[in-house]
Amino acid sequence: MPVTHLELLNFKSYSGLQRIGPFKSFTCVIGPNGSGKSNLMDAISFILGVNSRDLRSSQLRDLIFRPPGETATRLKASATLVYQKETGEEIRFGRTISSSGVGEYNIDGRPVPFKKYEESLNDIGVLIKARNFLVFQGDVESIARKTPKEFVTLFENISGSAELAQEYENAIKVKEEAEAATIFAFNKQKGYKSERKVLREQKEEAEKFHNKLREKGAIQTEFFLWQLFHINEDIGEKEEIITNLKEDLEDELSKEKEAGDALKTAKKSASAARRNVNRIEKERVALSAAIESLQPPLIKIREEIKSLSRKLKSDDTALTKLQKEEDTHQEKLKKIEDEIARAESQEGDLENDYENIKRSGGESAGGTTALTEEQEELLEEVREAAAVASAKPRAALSKLNHQLDTARAKAAATNTNLSDATKRVTDARKNIDELKQRNTTLTESLTKTNEDLKKSEEEFEKVQASNLRSQNRRAELDAELERISNILREARDDRRKNKDEERLLSALSSLKRHFPGVQGRLVDLCRPVQRRFNLSVTVAAGRDMDAIVVDTKQTGFECIQYLREQRVGVATFLPLDSIQIPPQSTTERLRAKCERDPRYRLAQDVISCEEGVKKAVSYAVGNTVICDDLEGARELCFGGGRRERVKAVTIGGAVISMAGTMTGGITSDDSGRARRFDEREIQRLQSQRETLQTERANLDSLTTSSGGTLSHSARLEELRNTVGNLRSRKEYTQSDIKYTESKLKEMQNAVKTSQKRKKELETQLQKLERQIENLVTERDSAIQTVREVEEEHYGPFREETGLRDIHAYEEVVGRARDEFMKKRRKIREVLAKLNAQKSYEDGRDFKGPVAKIESRLHDRQAKLNDVKLREEETLRKEADVREKLEGKQTDMEQAVEEEKEKEAVVSLSQKELGERIEERNRVNKDITVEESTLEKLRQKLHETLQKARVEEVELPLVGETPRSKRRSRSRGTGDDESDEGIEEESPPSEEQKLSAPSSTQDSNISTHFSQTDDQKVAKDRRDASRIDFTNMKSKYKHRLKDRDEKKVRSDFEQQINAISAEIEKMTPNMKANEQFDAANQRLKDSGHDFDNAKARAQKAVADYNRVKTLRANRFKHAFEHIDDALKTIYKDMTKSSKHPLGGNAYLSLDDAEEPYRAGMKFNAMPPMKRFRDMEQLSGGEKTVAALALLFAIHSFRPAPFFVMDEVDAALDNVNVLKVCNYIKQRSGDFQCIVISLKDMFYERSRSLVGICRDVATNSSRTLTLDLTRFEEAEPNQ
């Protein structure tokens, strides 16, 4: 057999060294639950390289046996599997675990690395990754639940195609990279060809470009001199106006200070009034709390008065009863004595009557004569003899009579006691009802108090939380208001509009009313998608940002005519029906280029607007490209050997025109227009500030349940007092409830005791009544016995005396005697009763109980008077507090009125201060407007000088020599080498620095043009003062109207634009010769790169196809084998006499070409059942199908042995028999070791391994039984 036996040393539940085996071709491992069967499975798995996490443990140390009672152990563990080859040679595969938890693999006792260990197992057909040698408990169910992708993963491990997965992925990656490199090399070669063609054309434009530049420079010089001359004049006028306005501002500030002082005084008075209101409110709340605190004692006093009144009434009733009994005592005693005398007299009369009857009894007895004296004596002797003879029966009769009298007396006493017990029960129940009613009243009061307390505590917590929230919210509001104020303070000056713009906005509103086609200014109709694009969009659109968008050209003409008639000013109009926008193809080409580089984006794409004005936006910004920085703009316009004819604007405002000229910095107009995008945000902030101020003012106001308003502190104090009073009332009520409940429990116990006593008395009375009945019957029987005994003596006497009827005689005399005895007995009973009653009455003491009750009445009356005094005192205190509370309420109303008056004074002072502030703001506004104008003029001067420097305009300076002029011109028109030569010859002078380009592109960003002493402002004024205006034409020195000024500016700009347009059309490249040679060389190099890339791509595709084919073949080979085996095995396992054809099971692939990239489905159809998904099969059907698949997988890469752990758990006996027969049938092909609890399984095996639990050592022990010898003995039997 492949596996002959196992040797385990301290492994899991196996203590010490245990040798388990031998194993036959079909071995079953059996044993009760918890004995260690699965640990044997874990041992085999452990030996064959399965990780410890799959063996129900987190680390190797957990696999070492731990003796009972020891928390730590120094034992080491090992497990060895003895494998026998077909040649008979044995190989010992083993793993050891040291006491520190370190594992080691060994073969034949020699340590080996895991790689060699795995290879040795592979040599005998055991695949660790595929696990083709074992099935854990639960693996059968998991096979049936596997997803299509998990089936593919399982088949990849079994087929070995998983070994090629990494190589396959690498081949795909290399193929894709090679194809991408080929495409890139091709595009690169194509680009170089286009570049070389363009460079050839650029060489011819260079010379023509220089001539136009000289002509443009002369016109620019005249234009800048005209601008600078008038800017200097305007700056002087504005500085004088600002000086006068600042004097007016000083006067307004002094008036504002006076108003502020008055407001401060009014606020102090209002604050004092507010504090007074809060103080009175606190006192009012304290008085209310005092009234509440008096309520619990008052309730207790009133309850005590009620209790004492009830007790006094009860004592008074008892005293009256005793006094009445004392008054009637003598009369009752005399009456008893009279009754005793009357009874004694009746007894004497009764005796005389009896003597008379006795004398006349003989005659009435039927005798002829009356009995003689001797006969009478004889009769007496006979009677005595009869009496002696009947003494015993008569004694018994007397005893019975005595018992009967005693029983009747006891019954009467019991009846009396029963009446008393019934009365006690009734009284106790009445008291219980009263106590329950009182307890209910107190409980309701306590419930109401708890509810009020809970509401007050909840309100207190809410007010406290509200106070905390209001404080936090006040801090948040203060921070937010400070932030908004800072923003608005910074934006205050930026939002000033000059008079021309205000007139234009007013005119725009009129145009919208008169002409429906007017849509508004472009700056109001569009908005950058992000604030950081505000400046760049403004610079890109230029003056068109203030243009007015109209629907048609005719509407524009009508608007212009209206503005002329109203003399409002001039405006630019953009008719949507006639403006020209850049071609769509050019725009898309630039957009595609921008999408490839995140540094660039079309200006059109960063502007948000409605669909109707997109044409106007496209006209205003054209195909301008927004760049992140100037370096990126240079690379876009000049990099790559081919200059892109595009206008580029940086986010900072720098511009590179289509002609290639660069303009650094921004103008004040650009800054103003850029900030106008934030006007809506500023309006929103102002509205938000007003809302936050209102919210802050209302934070401390708290509406009470009565409809009034209180501050948080006053309300908290009021609630704190209310909660304290309610808690005191709760304590008093709870103590009263405890007292009532204890009394109620006592009364209930008394009722129980009385009821118990009543039942006992009722039982006793019934018993006595039955006893009386029995005694009456016995007495009658005893009377008959006495008569029979007496007849024996009376018979002879009757014969002797001739007395025919002694009984008649005895009847007359006896009846009289009995009557006499009966009446005398009754009289004597009455006498005994009367004597006892007289004795009781003589011994009664009325003075003691009366004195006791009178004393108790006196004490309780005194206590009641004291309680009433306390009640009056408490009521008096409550009345005093209520009187004070009413006074405080009046004071509160007066204080509130005073507070309102103070607040009115504050409002008036605030209004006065507001007027002063408004006047001061008006003057400030005028100053700001003038300073803004001056700032714009200074900025305009700076921008003009900066623009002159950037555009390298030659400006004549005072005292400039012709030599320096020539030097400046040579520096402005020469190439790079000549510039360097001049700089090396001599450093530039101050005059040369004026015309030299600035070293920064955003100089105005750090310049404060509102500050006269700013370094750059002073430098601009010095530079402007050094400019020589003597050669400037006289017609340009006169101040012109706005229209004439704009006309002159327009003339200059038209000339410059005309020349610039020609220059822009030329777009020469001054280094075209060198670039053309370099382009030729790059084109040649790119050809070699393309050939190499194409060769690498072909090789990568071939490698990919090879790996793909190999991997797919391995997978398909395994799939086809397992699919065929599955159909056969499942059919064999499901065959039966009823279903001779068996069932059907099959596998299907989602992707037949590359199956490992998709999924795999496993379906089974049991006999005589329609097709259903695996999830819809029963547990047994799933198990049979899963086992068939496991056996089919094992048949592809068969291991020499197969270990299964309780795979039959979900099978019924029929399916267990089928699986068992299949395993037995295949046991000749491979060794099978099965852990099972089904007797049908292990009775068909060839050997058994029994596992049991050693209770003493808490470890597992094994027993082995060879069943093959029973198979040999069976035929003999």
The per-residue pLDDT for range 829-876, each reduced to its tens digit, is: 888 888 877 777 777 777 778 788 888 888 888 888 888 888 888 888
1130, 1144 Cβ separation under 8 angstroms: yes
Residue 356 has pLDDT above 80, yes or no: no
Give the 3-state secondary structure of residue 1261. Answer: strand
Tens of pLDDT along 188-198? 888 878 877 77
Tens of pLDDT along 493-509? 444 444 556 667 777 88
- Long-range own/partner contacts, residues 244-250 (CB < 8 A, 24 or more apart): 245/923, 245/926, 245/927, 245/930, 246/927, 248/923, 249/920, 249/923, 249/924, 249/927
Least Cα distance to 449 among 726, 215, 692, 696 occurs for 726
Tens of pLDDT along 419-463? 888 888 888 888 888 888 888 888 888 888 888 888 888 888 888
Tens of pLDDT along 1023-1069? 777 888 777 777 777 777 778 778 888 888 888 888 888 877 776 77
Please report, as a single letter, which amino acid is at residue 1135. Answer: K
Q: 997 falls in which pLDDT band (50, 70, 90)?
A: very low
Query: What pLDDT does residue 490 have?
Result: 58
Tens of pLDDT along 13-24? 888 888 988 888
β strands within 860-908, DSSP E: none
229, 1035 Cβ separation under 8 angstroms: no
Least Cα distance to 133 among 1199, 1230, 1268 occurs for 1199
* Angle (nearest 5°) at CA 606 between 603 and 612: 90
Mean pLDDT for all residues in the chain: 78
Average pLDDT estimate for 1256-1272: 81
Query: What pLDDT does residue 976 have?
Result: 37
Please give the structure tokens belonging to residue 61.
Answer: 């140390």
How many residues are listed for the chain in this entry?
Answer: 1277
Least Cα distance to 403 among 133, 775, 876, 733 occurs for 775
Average pLDDT estimate for 971-994: 39
Query: What pLDDT does residue 1004 have?
Result: 40
Residue 405 has pLDDT above 50, yes or no: yes
Residue 798 has pLDDT above 90, yes or no: no
Give the 3-state secondary structure of residue 1200. Answer: coil
971, 1018 Cβ separation under 8 angstroms: no
Least Cα distance to 1029 among 234, 225, 230, 231 occurs for 225
Compute the chain's Rg from CA coordinates: 64
Query: What pLDDT does residue 548 have?
Result: 92
d(CA 1053, CA 1055): 5
Least Cα distance to 761 among 406, 418, 408 occurs for 418
Query: What pLDDT does residue 279 have?
Result: 84
Contacts of residue 135, defined as CB under 8 A and 6 or more positions apart, other chains included, come to 1190, 1202, 1203, 1204, 1205, 1207
Q: How many other β-carbons are positioned within 10 Å of the β-carbon of residue 1267?
A: 17
Query: What pLDDT does residue 87 have?
Result: 80
Tens of pLDDT along 242-283? 888 888 788 878 888 888 888 888 888 888 888 888 888 788
Residue 70 has pLDDT above 70, yes or no: no
1248 strand-pairing partners: 28, 1265
Please report, as a single letter, which amino acid is at residue 754. Answer: S
Q: 968 falls in which pLDDT band (50, 70, 90)?
A: very low
Residue 549 has pLDDT above 90, yes or no: yes
Eight-class DSSP state of 1233: E
Average pLDDT estimate for 807-817: 64
Query: What pLDDT does residue 308 have?
Result: 83
% of the chain residues with pLDDT over 70 = 86
Residue 954 or residue 978, greater confidence: 954
Tens of pLDDT along 87-139? 888 889 999 988 887 888 999 889 999 888 888 888 887 877 767 677 776 77
d(CA 725, CA 742): 26
Beta strand 655-656 with 662-663 is antiparallel
Alpha-carbon 446 to chain mean position:
37
Query: What pLDDT does residue 966 have?
Result: 46
d(CA 534, CA 526): 11
